[in-house]
Structure 1
Amino acid sequence: MELGNIAFTHNGKFHADDVFGAALLKIVKPDIIIKRVAAVPEGFTGMAFDIGHGRFDHHQADAEIRENGVPYAAFGLLWREFGEQLLLKGCSPEDAAKAAAHFDEKFVQPLDEDDNTGCGNQLAGAIASFNPVWDSDEDPDVCFAQAVEFASAILHRKLEGMFSESRAKSFVTEALEKSEDGIVVLPHFAPWKTVLVPSPAKFVVYPSQRGGYNAQAIPETLDGEGVKCPFPLEWAGKESEELQASSGLKTLRFCHRGRFLAAADTLEDAKEACRIAMRTA
């Protein structure tokens, strides 16, 4: 769909769906002007969202519902129209389609569901907090613009994260092909889950921003629920001398109490921590 220079949405109290919808449109077309009105002007045929009972509204009786039962709100309808198109700027067509669907499921749908049902969502609540309080003389349109700026910053970071995952695929795949003993070593951190979660690899090791190396157990699913092989129970929550005595590794200095992350000063100790975990699982 080609966007004109003006888009209309409803005035009054704003919510996450119209705020994120406006933020998305401004990313698609930076010079677009969002006007908040009580009703769409008669005869207007351009973009209107969350108002007017058109393609990008969801208040009509026959409003669309996703196959999984989550109803669309304005943000979801706009993401369905423009999300994959945006992602093609930094992703392959295959990655763009998958990332758009995943983003809809994990980010967009909770906001749409909150708008339609009032079920409660922290991000939606944060957006709602930009509205003027009851005894304020703030201009609601100014507050809306501030909320859109906030939402735009989030969307930009989310999009860049998806672009970076797409760029990382070949880098991580190459490391996977060179891996041994179920341990993938990255010369520096890169988003690895989309490649390594479906793979046979059980651990990934990479330089830590705090110095030394992190050894991380690879989750069983992309949602991060459970890991393929946790670090030993007796290491959980231990640090430095106690951990080194328990593990026999001189530079192992941390193991998360969740048993999915360990840190060591040397690459060899980080890798050996993974080998011990696999031997004792």
Structure 2
Amino acid sequence: MPEHTPIGLGHEATTTTALTHSGNFHLDETLGYVVLHYALTPMGDLRARILGDVPDDCLKFQRSRDPEKIQAADIVFDVGGIYDPPKGRYDHHMKNKPLREDGTPYSAAGLLWKDYGKAAIRNLVRTQVDDATIAAIWQSIDKSLVIPIDQDDNGVAKMGKLSLADIVSACSPPWDTAELHGPEEAKRRETLGFANAATAVASHLVNTVDRVRASLKATDRVLAAYENAEDKRILVMDTGMPTEKVIFEHDLPVIYVVSPTGSGQWNVKAIPPERGAFGQRISLPEAWGGLDGKALAEVSGIPDAIFAHPARFICGAASREGALAMARRALEIDAALKSQQN
């Protein structure tokens, strides 16, 4: 949290007016509005507020370049030529623009995320978490989403095709809308486009916050399971969850992950040599590939073996004990083959 109390996060009883520019819109100011919405009025109607379909709640939102409206607003972002957070000014287009510690220029979204992001996350997380978890979620989203937006908006690096930035841009009406339909209809479609973009960005942010929260929870469980593992090459998880990210980030020497599936069986999944790569650190036995049922049970020696993928990166059994036995047997076969080769 910044040293100053961001406008709207104190105990103000009055409505907070937030303003960004009208005209063409980008992911920068769209996310900025979404962050303010969840930080200040998470129960409000994000879309209807843009369209003017509901009376103003405690957050009033405007899109304008009118100097008088800019002057009167409590929070102004991506327009106005001023960066002064205690006064609610969050522009980044000045010559002496605000920079991150590594020299990356901030976007307006980045500046608002810095002041309002943790408040937004706190309102989005539906389970009880501590301040350290809120900070960890903030840091993860800052790195994975907000910094790329800063870079894209400032011409440092493009986010790439089919990114969230592209989705927002696709919500803008075509360049000839005013020519075809007149200025008033063009303005209406622009406002509708911003509302559509904000809805998409809000959905992404809500889902991202929850996924990061769950990822942090998974990290704790994976590390605990690894600590308790009899054989550090075999990670046994009692609940299905993402494990590969944790394995590579913590450089764990895991070869196979044993975990249950939704259908009640247990799978053995081989870890790739590098994160996101094809292949396996140790493939499942060649003789198992493509077999299932009785044939696999006979070849593997595991009575309740169910299947083995032809690519030999995953196999399964009907029980935890069976899957664990398959993982152990696969390691034994690999060790025997290497011994023969030597």
TM bucket, shorter chain = 0.7 to 0.9
Please say which structure displays the higher CA radius of gyration. 2
- Say if 2:151 is the partner of 1:151: no
Q: Is the 8 A contact 2:19 2:64 kept in 1?
A: yes
Secondary structure in 2 aligned to 1:43? helix
Q: Given residue 35 of structure 2, which amino acid in structure 1 is its aligned partner?
A: L
CA distance, structure 2, for counterparts of residue 85 and residue 224 of structure 1? 33
Q: Is the 8 A contact 2:258 2:268 kept in 1?
A: yes
Gaps of 5+ in 2: 1-5, 9-14, 45-58, 84-89, 178-184, 336-342
Within a 5 Å distance, the mapping from 1:147-226 to structure 2 comes to: 147-168=197-218, 171-172=221-222, 174-182=224-232, 183-192=234-243, 197=248, 198=250, 200=252, 202=254, 203-217=256-270
**What is the CA deviation profile of residues 197-219 of structure 1, one whole-angstrom value per residue up to 9, with x for unaligned ones?**
52746143221135422334567
Greater Cα shift, 154-163 or 75-84: 75-84
- Say if 2:155 is the partner of 1:105: no
Q: Given residue 195 of structure 2, which amino acid in structure 1 is its aligned partner?
A: A
Q: CA RMSD in A?
A: 3.7
CA distance, structure 2, for counterparts of residue 192 and residue 148 of structure 1? 32
CA distance, structure 2, for counterparts of residue 109 and residue 158 of structure 1? 15
- The Cα shift of 1:130 comes to 0.7
Across the two proteins, how many residue pairs are aligned to each other? 279
Q: Given residue 33 of structure 1, which amino acid in structure 2 is its aligned partner?
A: K
Q: Given residue 201 of structure 2, which amino acid in structure 1 is its aligned partner?
A: A
CA distance, structure 2, for counterparts of residue 28 and residue 235 of structure 1? 57
CA distance, structure 1, for counterparts of residue 287 and residue 80 of structure 2? 59
CA distance, structure 2, for counterparts of residue 11 and residue 233 of structure 1? 62
Could you tell me which of 152, 155, 158 is aligned with 1:114? Answer: 152
CA distance, structure 1, for counterparts of residue 298 and residue 33 of structure 2? 55
CA distance, structure 1, for counterparts of residue 288 and residue 100 of structure 2? 42
Secondary structure in 2 aligned to 1:2? coil
Secondary structure in 2 aligned to 1:33? strand
Tell me: CA distance 1:175–1:78, structure 2 relative to 1, closer, same or farther (3 Å). same
Tell me: CA distance 1:277–1:10, structure 2 relative to 1, closer, same or farther (3 Å). farther
- Say if 2:131 is the partner of 1:78: no
TM-score of the two chains, using structure 2 as the length reference: 0.67
- The Cα shift of 1:43 comes to 3.3
Q: Given residue 6 of structure 1, which amino acid in structure 2 is its aligned partner?
A: T
**Who is 1:16 aligned against?**
27
- The Cα shift of 1:152 comes to 0.7
TM-score of the two chains, using structure 1 as the length reference: 0.79
- The Cα shift of 1:75 comes to 1.6
Tell me: CA distance 1:44–1:121, structure 2 relative to 1, closer, same or farther (3 Å). farther
**Runs of 4+ that moved beyond 6 A:** 225-228
- Say if 2:97 is the partner of 1:47: no
Q: Given residue 211 of structure 2, which amino acid in structure 1 is its aligned partner?
A: G
Gaps of 5+ in 1: none
CA distance, structure 2, for counterparts of residue 140 and residue 146 of structure 1? 10
CA distance, structure 2, for counterparts of residue 262 and residue 238 of structure 1? 9
**Who is 2:172 aligned against?**
131
CA distance, structure 2, for counterparts of residue 158 and residue 204 of structure 1? 25
Could you tell me which of 311, 322, 325 is aligned with 1:272? Answer: 325
Secondary structure in 2 aligned to 1:133? coil
Q: Given residue 187 of structure 1, which amino acid in structure 2 is its aligned partner?
A: D
- The Cα shift of 1:147 comes to 1.0
CA distance, structure 2, for counterparts of residue 100 and residue 177 of structure 1? 27
**Who is 2:7 aligned against?**
2
**What is the CA deviation profile of residues 160-211 of structure 1, one whole-angstrom value per residue up to 9, with x for unaligned ones?**
1223334456555554444221233232224556765527461432211354
